[in-house]
Chains A and B, each alone.
Chain A
Amino acid sequence: MRSDRIFGAFGVALAIFYIWAALQTQESFLSDVVGPKAFPVIIGVILGISSAIIFLFPDPEPHWPAFGRIAEIAGAVVVMVLYAEFLPVAGFVIATAVASAYLTWRLGSTVIQSIIAGIVISVSIYVVFHLLFGLSLARGPLGF
């Protein structure tokens, strides 16, 4: 119930914002009859209407996990964001080993297992995709 109400309200807000953003589009002097605004506005309108319906007729509440589990997901997101940011700095092998070791650990392995798994995952991806297939991966200060 409540989740759907929040989502519906969010959707309506998003729709209004989207229509506003669409109307901000600078029209070019060389435009076709329809122009670049019409289609996004139509989308925004339908988005708004369907979000309002969700708000008015919500489904039963989904099963949200306990706080601890949500924190778990948030932690993984933080690690992934750091991974994305540090990938060009630290290089592929190191960044990937750290990130996958963290995920393995959080999915229930022991610390030592996780470190080994992280290194194995990272090195095998590097060997298969970089050395074998020649895919260019981020190069770190150590050259890999």
Chain B
Amino acid sequence: MDVFANLADGFVIAMTWENMLFAVLGCFLGTIFGALPGLGPSNGVAILIPLAFSLGLGPVASLILLTSVYYGAMYGGRISSILLNIPGDEPAMMTCLDGYPMAQKGMAGEALSLSGIASFVGAFIATWGLIFLAPQLVRFALLFGPAEYFALFALAFATLGGISSTNQAKSAVAAMIGLGLACIGVDTQTGVPRMTFGEVHLYDGIDFLVAIVGLFALSEVFIFLEHRHGQADASGKQMTIGRLTPPWSMIKSCTPSMLRTSVIGFVAGVLPGAGASLGSFLSYSMEKQIVDREGKTFGKGDPRGVAAPEAGNNAAAGGALVPMLSLGVPGSGTTAVLLAVLLSLNITPGPLLFTNNPDVVWGLIAALFIANFVLLAMNIPMVGIFTRVLLVPPRYLMPAVAMISFVGIYGLTGSSFDLLMMIGFGVMGWVFRKLDIPLVPIILGTLLGNQMENNLRRAVTISNGDWWTLVGSPLAIGLWIVAFVGFVLPIIIGRTVKSRMRRDAESATVD
């Protein structure tokens, strides 16, 4: 079969010593980023992108490094959920519900290793799903013209806010700020400067990496300064890990749950705007419905309640790569950051990626498989190392994170102006978080703004200035309808889902 031949080529590309080293390094760093409360996958990848470029890594090597970080962070998020009852990142929220009670019963080691296995199952199944689904989607995407692409970008923005914010007006503002930032600089089609106000530094536009690192990483530092987290590590010390291998009977009883939730998670990941948090939430609630109808064991340390959300969120992480690679439209915050990786490597994701850069695509997919096995190995026997990382107090860690962010951006551009801009984005990120304005649409806007505008202008130019061409084909109309529904539906039902997610998580963290 074609797919297997391609995959074999991918393994040949990925299996060099250098790339394997980057996979291991990425998995290790990713797990740490995931495990540390406050530093999620988006932060981890965001901080490392500029470094990967400043270090002059090639496209395949940087992709392998950064996707390993992505998968690793998805694995790592569970560690602090289980040990400290503090989710390492948002998707790991649901793992607190049964993971922490298990740890309190003295079964922390079993919970950690079981969730490691569940993560592996979820990610493994999702990677196969990616292999088979992405090429199908590519075939579909080849039918797209500029007008359809413009509609597709609109769809991405319309649906992205649905889950990440409770207020659609705020996600619209965020998206427009992002798109607005993308317009700054010399217009690519006519060569005239826009919104630069004569400032030469702005002629090149605002580097989206500056925006990403500022909004994600620096604003996190400000959040820490505000709360002065210092005691978060205290409770971890007394926790005994216990045995590090789950008994076979436990794995066996969890297997159906893991398989079911992997599928759910994968689908949630593929859907635009949903991402890993929704994947783990849906997985957990569905498993609760299926195996524990009376609500006797779930929430009190049921191993299936640990396996389900972990398989779900890792499967969603894989699923989210499908629209990102095949359409060039990310479905979640972290895949938006991964899109930034591709764009700064001068690789435009989308249907042509599969024909123009098959080495990148299949090398990446092979790297995902490798990362999975590396992570399984790292997370079962070596989980003790990562639990020790949790003991490093944030008061030493956050300054290091801030400084590494500065180094990355300075190494990339060598300009103090960009550093100042990054600080500005950091402050903006902090204020916006307070106001519950989602940051992901801003990032997506700065990333996709130029492409979106180019497609708009191309479409209208082709039709000799007729703007109705934007709704001129059934496909475009269909995309606009989905965009509209995706924007309006969360106003009706989104609040309930989001508030249920919050309530469940809060009820878990209160006691």
| Interface residue SS majority, chain A | helix
Residues on A with C-beta less than 8 A from B190 are: 27-28, 30-32, 35-36
Are A84 and B420 closer than 8 Å at their CB atoms?
yes
Are A107 and B398 closer than 8 Å at their CB atoms?
yes
Is B472 at the interface (CB under 8 A from chain A)?
no
Is A142 at the interface (CB under 8 A from chain B)?
no
Is B249 at the interface (CB under 8 A from chain A)?
no
Residues in chain B within 8 A of chain A (CB atoms): 51, 54-55, 166-167, 169-170, 172-173, 176-177, 179-180, 183, 187, 189-195, 197, 218, 221-222, 224-226, 228-230, 394-396, 398-400, 402-404, 406-407, 410-411, 414, 416, 419-420, 423, 426-427, 430, 434-437, 452-453, 456-457, 460-461, 464-465
Per-position 1/0 for A51-86, Cβ under 8 A of B: 101100101001111000100110011001101110
Closest CB in chain B relative to A45 CB, distance in Å: 9
Q: Which B residue's beta carbon lies closest to that of A44?
A: B180
Closest CB in chain A relative to B38 CB, distance in Å: 12
Are A106 and B420 closer than 8 Å at their CB atoms?
no
On whether A50 and B169 interact (CB within 8 A), knowing A40-B194, A81-B423, A136-B414, the answer reads yes
Residues on A with C-beta less than 8 A from B400 are: 100, 121, 125
Are A107 and B395 closer than 8 Å at their CB atoms?
yes
Closest CB in chain B relative to A6 CB, distance in Å: 10
Inter-chain CA distance A8–B265, complex, in Å, is 36
Are A117 and B461 closer than 8 Å at their CB atoms?
no
Inter-chain CA distance A58–B222, complex, in Å, is 25
Are B226 and A69 closer than 8 Å at their CB atoms?
yes
Inter-chain CA distance A134–B224, complex, in Å, is 31
Pairs of residues from A and B, 5 with the lowest C-beta to C-beta distance, nearest first: A107-B395, A84-B419, A103-B399, A47-B176, A50-B172
Residues on A with C-beta less than 8 A from B399 are: 99-101, 103-104, 107, 117-118, 121
Are B55 and A135 closer than 8 Å at their CB atoms?
yes
Q: How large is the interface on A (under 10, 10 to 19, 20 to 34, 35 or more residues)?
A: 35 or more
Are A77 and B423 closer than 8 Å at their CB atoms?
yes
B410 in complex: contacting residue of A27, A30, A107, A137, CB < 8 Å: A137
Inter-chain CA distance A96–B183, complex, in Å, is 33
Are A129 and B407 closer than 8 Å at their CB atoms?
yes
On whether A108 and B410 interact (CB within 8 A), knowing A121-B400, A135-B55, the answer reads no
Are A47 and B177 closer than 8 Å at their CB atoms?
yes
B399, B436, B452, B456: most-surrounded residue (chain A CB, <10 A): B399
Are B435 and A4 closer than 8 Å at their CB atoms?
yes
Closest CB in chain B relative to A16 CB, distance in Å: 13
Per-position 1/0 for A112-141, Cβ under 8 A of B: 000001100110010001000111111000
Residues on B with C-beta less than 8 A from A101 are: 399
Closest CB in chain A relative to B434 CB, distance in Å: 5
